[in-house]
Structure 1
Amino acid sequence: MTFDRRAVLTAAFAGFLSLPLPRRAFAADEVTRVDQLIGRMTLEEKAGQMTCLADSFRPFNPPNPQVGIQDEKRLAEEIRKGRVGCLFNGIGVAGARRAQEIAVKDSRLGIPLLFAGDVIHGLKTIFPVPLAEAASFDPRLAERTARVQALEATAAGLHLTFAPMVDVARDQRWGRVVEGAGEDVTLGSLFAAARVRGFQGRDLRRDDSLLACPKHFAAYGAVAAGLEYGSVDISDETLRETHLPPFGAAFAAGALTTMAAFSEINGVPATADRDLLTNLLRGEMQFRGFVFSDYTADEELIAHGYAQDERDAARLAVLAGVDMSMQSGLYIKYIPDLVKSGAVPMGTLDVAVRRILYVKTALGLFDNPWRSLDEEAEKSRIATPAHRALAREAATRSVVLLQNDGVLPIDPGKRQKIALIGPFGEDRANLYGPWAFYGDPDKGIDIATGLRAALPDPALLTVEKGCDIARPIDGGIARAVAAAKEADIVLLAIGESQDMSGEAQSRTVIEIPAAQQALADAVAAAGKPVVVLLRHGRALALHEGVANASAILATWFLGSEAGHAIADILFGTADPSAKLPVSFPWESGQEPFFYDRKSTGRPTVGNGATEYRARYATTDNSARFPFGHGLSYTDFALDQLKLSDTALRWDSAIEVTVRLTNKGKRKGSEVVQLYIRDRVASRTRPIRELKRIERITLAPGESRTVRFSLSRTDLQFVGAGNQRIVEPGVFDLWVGQASEGGLKAQFTLYAEAGKG
């Protein structure tokens, strides 16, 4: 299955996107209804539609920081007065129906509420964290899991999810790497579109359609030094070329809301940036939905030093293009007076309210305010066996085999003694990862449980904790080493706790915690084969007893079926087929690090001279495990790379073919990856850029020809004046199994007469 980069990237740029205005899909009476409503609304009711508050009618995730939380009685009165348009992060049909009944029957205009929530990788059935799922390199898998998340979220009374996060993340110190698809633009764009399609389904008016909200607009993944809530200093070219395409892909897939970033860009906080939210988002990108602020981000304009006070913050945000304020309450508090005083034009307010009401109309809320509020669906559509089965499949396909000296897969028929050592062996508290607060931790399958279920004799398994996540325990290492010496194989379950990843979890050192590293080094000295089971939400710098293990599996935070999925991989029930969506550095100090970096004028080439070259004094400017890397239990080989022509004409295409062969003895899947490099351009270009991926499953001894097509559009970049351009010249091309190595070819793009 080949994924066409052109189809998902072109939507991000001026002149390429022609999404219809929401009203064009509406019947005349619906348009009239919205217009008449706006004509009847008071200033306070308009500001109310632009206000989103934490849901106190049902169990909800307490926001952090806890600002402006209202009890149910007070919130009910606000809804009755028309002062609230959206509630967020509560689940449960009964409470939602109580709130909706007040909005529809007791408020003056009867405008229904929108119910939103942070369903990032599952409601009750928890799927792998988004970064892990991106390792599958299979956007269709992400679409399937997003569809199930939508089924469960809408059954629990939600209309919208604050997902997917589509920020391209190139600094592994940033905690929110875990929420996205990694460091690559193409992969990120493919997964952004797939998740939007999965959440929303084919018809937004269906009871099981969950409106997507791609975030954080824009370039939040580029915060300096990976520091959460930090500043972004970025060129226009990099913004448009690296950070906008996944948003364009999400909007092209039908997303009708987005969320402004917490961060500033080039000195202007995103929440107050009219150039960003109006000129670029609505102008260049032709986005026609509405924009949320992030949690209290409008109020935080004061701390940024950009707004004088709360009133000024509300003014700046609404003029910039933030349509709905989350949790600060500033809009309902200040907008009526801002309009009366002339500081905010009435037309600006009406445009924002119209966007919100059109989205509510698109969801069918005016015709059926009780959609997604069905108690029978709540009983039957959540945490079903089919959903758990998909969670297991997704988890299994997210595990990356980083290295293997032949110890894996383990043959359970040999009755080998297995020692499971480490703080995550029997741990259930850290299976899900961040942003899974609706899930029930007691229903997750830990590693030990998964192994025992797969072993013919569970007595073959011995479990020793060895240490806690961040500190030693008395006698822990001694007991772990003794268990290792008695075993035939050691499984070392180590890594990050789930609260080490996610929002506000930036780290200066991306390594295994010291207590666990000491455990790993001691266990390695026991002399038995060690298989490391990494638990993590980012790429890690691995050392000594971890880096030198017989095998290493990147198991991330895999969700509800983690233990079963890991056992499936360890015992060969499933063949590992995932690839890294982020580069694993040699050292923390290499960050930010990403595969599609620039050459520099003094590159280090192969095994050549390194003095006075672009490298660190203590390590190479390379990855321990590069983007796109991932091994299998079988042996794949590529050969017979051919181009239909070495000349690419201006308005034609070239076909690239390569033969993939399974030379091993097991059935398996490989992801074939196509990269290019523009040799000479008016803007320096990356050393490689991913353009195509295709996943192929082959039986032992089977071969298949893989085909890709490239055209001039695939060679575009952002040049002078922020225009997307393409220049004639020579291009290198690689087809391989990772972002390093591969079969190499070359072609030349020729200009059409009078162009280029």
Structure 2
Amino acid sequence: MKREDLKALLEDMSLQEKVDQMMQLMGVFYLDDAEGVLTGPARQLGVGEEDFWMAGSILGTYGAEQLMAIQRKYMEKQPHHIPMLFMMDVIHGMKTIFPMPLAQGATFEPELSGKCASAAAKEAAVSGLHVTFSPMVDLVRDARWGRVMESTGEDPYLNGLFAKAQVEGFQGDDMGKPYKVCSCVKHFAAYGGAQAGRDYNTVELSEHTLREFYLPSYKAGIDAGVGMVMTSFNTVNGIPASTNRWLMRDILRGEMGFDGVLISDFSAILETVAHGHSEDEADAAKKALEAGVDIDMMTSVYAANLCRLVEEGTVSEALIDESVMRILELKNKLGLFENPYKDANSEEEKTIILCDEHRKLAREAAGKSFVLLKNEGLLPIDMGKKAAFVGPYTNCKEIISSWAVTGDTSACVTIEEAAKEVFDLTRTSFHQGCQILANDYHLTGFGNLGESVPKELSEEEQKKMFEEALTAAKEADLVVMPLGEHFLQSGEATSRAMIDIPEIQMNLFREVAKVNDNIVVVLFNGRPLDLREISKTAKAILDVWFPGTEGGHAIVDALTGKINPSGKLPMSFPYCVGQVPVHYNEYATGRPNLEGMQERFKSKYIDIPNEPLYPFGYGLSYTNFEISPVTISKDIVTDGQSIKASVTVKNIGQVEGTEVIQLYIQDVAASVVRPVKELKGFEKVKLCPNEEKQVEFTIDEPMLRFLRADGTVGSDEGKFRIWIGSNSDTKNEAVFNCRK
């Protein structure tokens, strides 16, 4: 449909019809008996029958036949036969589940993440969906916050690359083309900066920190052409994001140039009343509209108030027209006016969902996301040795994360299932050992997800399981222990003050260590954990995160050496929770904790180290790499000219491997304090034994720019340090100068 036709359509719509386009309801309302819904949940929400059948979009329901039926009935009742938008949280896969986003960040391969997004879009599209609420690009520094699993980590540069790749993967170059969906960058803005790591909590940042660290990844998604942005729950500068006109109109739409649809998070507009910013629902509707929020997710704040506010002259209908036009334009970009069902196809659902191609991609992505944290020669496993798999994740299918809401765990491959395909079963045994969570640990507030918690076992059953595992461990040459968080211990609303592995599993670990010190821990986790005890005791640690549908196969590939781990940490693992938030790109202090400084009066803890247990960018391999000293082509960078910084990387081990060579830069003295290091580039290098390769980075003046003291963006003259190495703790340094 042409833009002039959209304008004509808008002009012919009634005010109520326009306002209802700005309301989003749960799709489940439309699956049950309409009368029952209207007299029950819809009435409680304050939605009448006329509004119910004119809501512009729904969320949380999928399936080609179901959504086609809803669309058909909706368009019959909608006065102008405007199609409905169908939206869903397709975060890291539709039915084929890929590694959780933080794990994808560990691949340091944005292109691969884009392929995963494209596959997810294909499965979502044939299931009838038009929009996915992904990617979440929030910068994360506090492992207590459960939603770190949904981000790609603590670095603005890395997050921006993944934001771009995922948006392009979901949307392609035209979201109206077959098998593409509209992407939604979230949560604008600074949701990951919640104080104390507590979800939905206040965010308190200086504008400088907001602009320098938190906003760049959103901008990367917007520059990639994302069609939708979602508001965050938190306050920014003391104002809730959903009613923050400066944030949404001045920064998002003005400075960043976003012209797509802005949707609130679930009931976020209404929640501004609880924040103490809006007096009541009508005031919340007014402020959110004036801030430029186009869609009110799952409340009747807009539908119940905007018409009256226009009639009273409190708000301008022109603001409503702006929002509705953006919604109509999105529907038009998706091609819904020509084909309201788009790619929904129940026959293609059967062939595309969980197809071999997508499973193969999921296996590849999982393998590349694994981070080898420690290895004292036990990995890869010597297949001639007697191995005991002992731990609750040995044969567990709940390995897809709490935000794989459309995933089917029955399709997941467990470690035991995969291991039985390749291990000599006369020398291999499998034992649960204990439950993931103790009987007295209760997960509340998860609805049907709570059914995923294993049934409680009697003391006798637990004792028998425990003793069988210990006997097997004692008789084995090595013990592989798949341990970690329950998948419902990370994700939205799962903030944790103590970021450790459940005590019931730690008790099993300690008892196994008493009878066999050859332990390989396979770690399942949605966030960085406190691994002090495990790191001290286990001889090998392989972090596999929540790896997705093909997790079992990929884990066994890594344990047996079929693949060589190459993942790098996208988020620092703290020494203990007392350090968090901890991140590599911190500001220097006037009394840094450096050798040669006064022993007492410097910025440090007296009971733990300042440094994380495992730093950003860290990850081992089954081989060893030698990195030469940094060489630079010249020592001065000027406007319009660049320098080359390079190292030679050599595989000095016995097997082929991949190393991620990382470039970090520091502005030594600037108009505002700069981070001690900032990631500015990386390259993945695959080398055979004794093979070497030169890795070269180009450094130009734009790479040195930052938000300066006077509010402008630019570079300062002066001295810069660069480091090139295998993680953020590298000491491989060179120096250059910037001259104007």
Same structural fold, with TM-score higher than 0.5 when normalized by the shorter chain: yes
Q: In the alignment, which of 630, 633, 648 is matched to residue 622 of structure 2? A: 633
Q: In the alignment, which of 261, 274, 277 is matched to residue 245 of structure 2? A: 274
Aligned to 2:142: 171
The yes-or-no answer on 1:616 pairing with 2:587 is: no
Where in structure 2 are the equivalents of 1:312-391 lying within 5 Å?
312-391=283-362
SS at match of 2:369: coil
Task: Name the CA distance, whole Å, in 1 between partners of 2:382 and 2:513.
Answer: 22
- Shift, 1:370, TM fit: 2.1
Aligned to 1:8: none
- Shift, 1:452, TM fit: 1.5
SS at match of 1:453: coil
Residues 97-146 of structure 1, C-alpha deviations (whole Å, 9 max, x = no match): 12212333332111111111000011111111000111000001101100
Name the aligned partner's letter for residue 421 of structure 2.
A
The yes-or-no answer on 1:231 pairing with 2:202 is: yes
- Shift, 1:57, TM fit: 6.8
Q: In the alignment, which of 501, 505, 521 is matched to residue 532 of structure 1? A: 521
Where in structure 2 are the equivalents of 1:190-209 lying within 5 Å?
190-209=161-180
- Shift, 1:456, TM fit: 3.3
Aligned to 1:599: 588
Aligned to 2:704: 715
Task: Name the CA distance, whole Å, in 2 between partners of 1:207 and 1:114.
Answer: 16
SS at match of 2:681: strand
- Shift, 1:77, TM fit: 5.0
Task: Name the CA distance, whole Å, in 1 between partners of 2:98 and 2:648.
Answer: 34
Q: CA RMSD in A?
A: 1.9
Aligned to 2:420: 452
Aligned to 1:34: 6
Aligned to 1:25: none
Task: Name the CA distance, whole Å, in 2 between partners of 1:158 and 1:705.
Answer: 46
Task: Name the CA shift for 1:292/1:584 in 2 (closer, same or farther; >3 Å).
Answer: same
Task: Name the CA shift for 1:277/1:176 in 2 (closer, same or farther; >3 Å).
Answer: same
Aligned to 2:15: 43
- Shift, 1:89, TM fit: 1.2
Aligned to 1:13: none
Aligned to 1:248: 219
- Shift, 1:640, TM fit: 4.7
Task: Name the CA distance, whole Å, in 2 between partners of 1:610 and 1:175.
Answer: 36
Task: Name the CA distance, whole Å, in 2 between partners of 1:590 and 1:603.
Answer: 16
SS at match of 1:585: coil
The yes-or-no answer on 1:556 pairing with 2:545 is: yes
Task: Name the CA shift for 1:57/1:617 in 2 (closer, same or farther; >3 Å).
Answer: same
- 8 Å contact 1:79–1:107 — kept in the other structure? no
- Shift, 1:197, TM fit: 0.7
Name the aligned partner's letter for residue 717 of structure 1.
F
Aligned to 1:500: 489
Give 4+ residue runs of structure 1 displaced > 6 Å after superposition: 57-60
Name the aligned partner's letter for residue 444 of structure 1.
C
Gaps of 5+ in 1: 1-28, 61-66, 752-756
Task: Name the CA distance, whole Å, in 2 between partners of 1:91 and 1:542.
Answer: 39
Task: Name the CA distance, whole Å, in 1 between partners of 2:51 and 2:282.
Answer: 22
Aligned to 1:516: 505
Q: In the alignment, which of 414, 424, 431 is matched to residue 393 of structure 2? A: 424
SS at match of 1:258: strand
Aligned to 1:125: 96
The yes-or-no answer on 1:466 pairing with 2:466 is: no
Where in structure 2 are the equivalents of 1:573-588 lying within 5 Å?
573-588=562-577
Task: Name the CA shift for 1:130/1:468 in 2 (closer, same or farther; >3 Å).
Answer: closer
Aligned to 2:688: 699
Aligned to 2:406: 438
Task: Name the CA distance, whole Å, in 1 between partners of 2:611 and 2:15.
Answer: 58
Aligned to 1:485: 474
Residues 599-643 of structure 1, C-alpha deviations (whole Å, 9 max, x = no match): 211111158654222111111110111000000011111115221
Task: Name the CA distance, whole Å, in 1 between partners of 2:31 and 2:7.
Answer: 35
Residues 300-331 of structure 1, C-alpha deviations (whole Å, 9 max, x = no match): 11111111111111111111111100001211
- Shift, 1:468, TM fit: 3.8
Task: Name the CA distance, whole Å, in 1 between partners of 2:321 and 2:737.
Answer: 52
Task: Name the CA shift for 1:702/1:78 in 2 (closer, same or farther; >3 Å).
Answer: farther
Aligned to 1:669: 658
- Shift, 1:515, TM fit: 1.8
SS at match of 2:7: helix
Task: Name the CA shift for 1:218/1:39 in 2 (closer, same or farther; >3 Å).
Answer: same
- Shift, 1:459, TM fit: 5.3
TM-score (norm 1): 0.91
SS at match of 1:133: helix
TM-score (norm 2): 0.93
Name the aligned partner's letter for residue 55 of structure 1.
G
Name the aligned partner's letter for residue 527 of structure 2.
R
Task: Name the CA distance, whole Å, in 1 between partners of 2:629 and 2:197.
Answer: 42
Task: Name the CA distance, whole Å, in 1 between partners of 2:595 and 2:363.
Answer: 41
- 8 Å contact 1:131–1:581 — kept in the other structure? yes
Q: In the alignment, which of 297, 302, 307 is matched to residue 268 of structure 2? A: 297
- 8 Å contact 1:422–1:492 — kept in the other structure? yes
Aligned to 2:446: none
SS at match of 1:115: strand
Task: Name the CA distance, whole Å, in 1 between partners of 2:72 and 2:52.
Answer: 10
Name the aligned partner's letter for residue 198 of structure 1.
G
Residues 167-199 of structure 1, C-alpha deviations (whole Å, 9 max, x = no match): 000000000000010101111001000000111
User: Identity rate of aligned residues, in percent?
Assistant: 40
Task: Name the CA shift for 1:51/1:80 in 2 (closer, same or farther; >3 Å).
Answer: closer
- 8 Å contact 2:114–2:168 — kept in the other structure? yes
- 8 Å contact 2:135–2:183 — kept in the other structure? yes
- 8 Å contact 2:144–2:198 — kept in the other structure? yes
Task: Name the CA shift for 1:639/1:357 in 2 (closer, same or farther; >3 Å).
Answer: same
Aligned to 2:727: 738
Task: Name the CA shift for 1:439/1:642 in 2 (closer, same or farther; >3 Å).
Answer: same
Name the aligned partner's letter for residue 229 of structure 1.
Y
Name the aligned partner's letter for residue 143 of structure 1.
G
